[in-house]
Amino acid sequence: MSEDQTKLSGPDLEQGVELSVIPDNGTLLGHARGEPVMLVRRGTELFAIGAICTHYGAPLEQGLIVGDTVRCPWHHACFSLRTGEALRAPARDPVSRWDVEIVHDLAHQFTPTQPTVETVYVREKLERAAPHAWPVTAATPQSVVIIGGGAAGNAAAETLCREGYAGRITLLSADAVLPCDRPNLSKGYLAGTATGLSNLLRPAKFYRDNQIDVRLNARVAAIDTVARQVQLADGNRHAYDALLLATGAEPIHLDVPGAKLPHVHYLRTVADSQALVAASLLAKRVVVIGASFIGLEVASSLRARGLDLHVVAPESIPMQKILGPQVGAFIRRLHEQHGVTFHLGTTATAIDAHGVTLKNGEVLTADLVVVGIGVKPAITLAQQAGLNIDRGVAVNEYLETSAPSVYAAGDIARWPDRLTGESIRVEHFVVAERQGQTAARNILGRREPFAAIPFFWTEQYDLGIAYVGHAEHWDEAAIDGDLEARNCSVTYRHDGKKLAEAMIHRDLEGLRAEVEFERAIGVETGFSMMGGESSKTASRAA
Ligand SMILES: Cc1cc2nc3c(=O)[nH]c(=O)nc-3n(C[C@H](O)[C@H](O)[C@H](O)COP(=O)(O)OP(=O)(O)OC[C@H]3O[C@@H](n4cnc5c(N)ncnc54)[C@H](O)[C@@H]3O)c2cc1C
Ligand code: FES
């Protein structure tokens, strides 16, 4: 949370505010006991919850109220107004909730011609609601093994705990560090604004306290779906009753002479990002191969470190395939304004210690090369175990694979998407976390279909783009608003059907698009856990 966000604004809600100043289905930002608090009015109900998103600290009063939930404007986390619970990733922790009292001004009884005044007071902070334990049945697994310590694996482990699961949870990760905020590896972490510790999704204590047995540097070499056990590369075995495969994706490697030289880098893990930071401290001139999201985020972060930067890519307009020609051209100009030079319509044919040779004959001097030409799902284990594969691990809407009690989530999973009617696989952080959450609940017997609308974001310099939906193929990209002024949305359609919307600094519109898509596929949009509290009404002579 930045310092600005901890600054208090609006009224002191402990001193009371008139009910009439809170719009129906609207919010009022204030504070109580030194904390930002948001009052939310829904018909006859009033709620008071912490006003700062527990993910990256967005102001929740700028979000969208949907049923008895609020959605975060930045990355679409969802909190219950009743309990404060983080109902949807990427937020993991709840927001605080507060007791609210409405006091009627009894003076009105004696002067009935005067309008009655109702004053809302925020009282004490309420205890966090106890997690509702999912009932244990004969089918509840005794032990769950999760392969993968990334977004999906971590979210699954956390969800099992939150659901009150009392069995054994083992998380096996090939990474050397605890689950991390992977998107930040090309952003704040690379630019130098986030530390290693702050980049972990949870500290080690969290896993200890929740009895999640995390094994790092634990690469799984084989899965035996008949004996229900996995074997690590070091020979150790772990038996499972339920297994979640969340092995993510791995960078596609460049196949040209010199591609294995030590100054050629890829970016997927914390170790990759650390190596890149170390190299950038000595380098002067960088060539980024690939104008992907990761390539361009790396360019942005390394420009922040003052390096001379060149981007090489085969397309004529970066990002055109996903975001359309106008947004792509805009992104190119943005990078050029920040001093990046593009070499488009060509590819790298060789790398040596001094530079990169391009297909068009150009030779670019470089003492650091970063390759970002895409990723492929890490499906080797699944293939060897005989699971159904379809350009990823094929799962049904419950995220079950073709093997009994084996689930898959995150970048490896291809699932039946209700919006497009196709089986899709995406590489988005929030999707991976939400799939991890859904898979965990299904492991416990919930039978919850995965029907979340895909969402991703990118940050380059001071530009943020959010994208809702999924348009692998589109034939129309209609811009509404002013792209140059960075205030617009772009709707992607195929055969007239709206499939996705990208937002440039129009957060609320992104949330509305998400709800619109959810309604289109018949998903319940405003949900919450029961048992929370709204306002109490009292009368007091004022
Ligand atoms: C630099 C970077 C920036 C990104 N930025 C964004 C962004 O801005 N927005 C966005 O939406 N998405 C972004 N993404 C994508 C997002 O991070 C991924 O979609 C997400 O991390 C996928 O989660 P996952 O759990 O499926 O896989 P991962 O997070 O990759 O985790 C996979 C885990 O599996 C482990 N593993 C693999 N094989 C084995 C094995 N055999 N045995 C044991 N463990 C194994 C790995 O060690 C790792 O711990 C970014 C990705 C990167 C790399
Ligand atoms: S800041 Fe709220 S979801 Fe990211």
Q: What single-letter DSSP state applies at residue 539? A: E
Q: How far is the CA of 182 from the centre of ligand 1 (A)?
A: 6
Task: Please choose, from the candidates 424, 378, 385, 391, the residue with its C-alpha nearest in 3D space to the C-alpha of residue 403.
Answer: 385
CA atoms within 13 A on the CB side of 512: 8
CB-based pocket (< 6 A), ligand 2:
53, 55-56, 58, 72, 74-75, 77, 90-91
Helix (H, G, I), strand (E, B) or coil at 517: helix
Ligand 2 pocket check: which of 52, 53, 429 to mutate, most ligand atoms within 8 Å of Cβ? 53
Give nearest CA residue, ligand 2 atom 3: 75
* Distances from the Cα of 281 to the Cα of 94, 369, 377, 420, 506, angstroms: 39, 14, 31, 45, 36
Centroid of ligand 1 to alpha carbon of 37 (angstroms):
34
Please give the full DSSP string across 214-238, using - where no structure is assigned. EETT--EEEEETTTTEEEETTS-EE
Rounded Cα gap, residues 157 and 169, in angstroms: 7
Contact, 154 vs 130, CB < 8 A? no
User: Tokens 């090939």 — which residue?
Assistant: 174
Calpha distance 374→427 (Å, rounded): 10
> Measured in angstroms, how far is the CA atom of residue 56 from the centroid of ligand 2?
5
The residue among 303, 334, 328, 330 whose CA lies nearest residue 313 is 328
Phi, psi of 60 (to 5 degrees): -70, -20
493 contact partners, CB below 8 Å, separation of at least 6? 471, 474, 475, 476, 478, 499
Give the distance (Å) from ligand 2 centre to CA of residue 89.
Answer: 9
Distance (angstroms) between ligand 1 centre and the Cα of 42 equals 38
Burial class for 471, CB neighbours closer than 10 Å (0-12, 13-18, 19+)? buried
Copy the structure tokens of residue 405: 């009690």
Nearest atom within ligand 2 for CA of residue 76: 3
C-alpha of residue 411 to centroid of ligand 1, in Å: 7
Contacts of 411 (CB under 8 A, 6+ apart): 150, 152, 248, 249, 375, 377, 378, 392, 425, 426, 427, 432
Atom of ligand 2 lying closest to residue 77 CA: 3
CA distance 98 to 1: 21
* Ligand 1 atom nearest 154 alpha carbon: 25
Residue to probe by mutation, ligand 1, list 411, 412, 463, most atoms within 8 Å of CB: 411
3-state secondary structure (DSSP) of residue 429: helix
Q: What is the CA(53)–ligand 2 centre distance, in A? A: 6
Measuring from each residue's beta carbon to the nearest atom of ligand 1, which residues come in under 6 Å?
147-153, 172-175, 182-183, 185-186, 218-220, 246-249, 267-268, 294, 378, 381, 410-411, 427-430, 432, 456-458
Encode the chain (542 residues) as per-residue pLDDT tens digits: 444 456 899 999 999 999 999 998 899 999 999 999 999 999 889 999 999 999 999 999 999 999 999 999 999 999 999 999 999 999 999 999 999 999 987 665 666 666 678 999 999 999 887 766 777 788 899 999 999 999 999 999 999 999 999 999 999 999 999 999 999 999 999 998 888 777 999 999 999 999 999 999 999 999 999 999 999 999 999 999 999 999 999 999 999 999 999 999 999 999 999 999 999 999 999 999 999 999 999 999 999 999 999 999 999 999 999 999 999 999 999 999 999 999 999 999 999 999 999 999 999 999 999 999 999 999 999 999 999 999 999 999 999 999 999 999 999 999 999 999 999 999 999 999 999 999 999 999 999 999 999 999 999 999 999 999 999 999 999 999 999 999 999 999 999 999 999 999 999 999 999 999 999 999 877 655 434 556 665 544 33
Q: Kindly report the protein residue whose alpha carbon is nearest to atom 1 of ligand 2.
A: 56
Q: How far is the CA of 232 from the centre of ligand 2 (A)?
A: 36
Both tokens assigned to 378: 């890490």
What predicted TM-score, i.e. pTM, was given to this entire model?
Answer: 0.94
Q: Which pLDDT value is given to residue 197?
A: 75
The ligand with the least distance to the CA atom of 78 is 2
Q: What share of the chain is helix, strand, coil (3-state, %, to 5)?
A: 20, 35, 45
Distance CA 238, CA 7 (A): 49
Q: How far is the CA of 192 from the centre of ligand 2 (A)?
A: 21
Residue with the nearest Cα to atom 6 of ligand 1?
A: 183
Mutation choice for ligand 2 from 70, 71, 74, 459, CB with most ligand atoms inside 8 A: 74
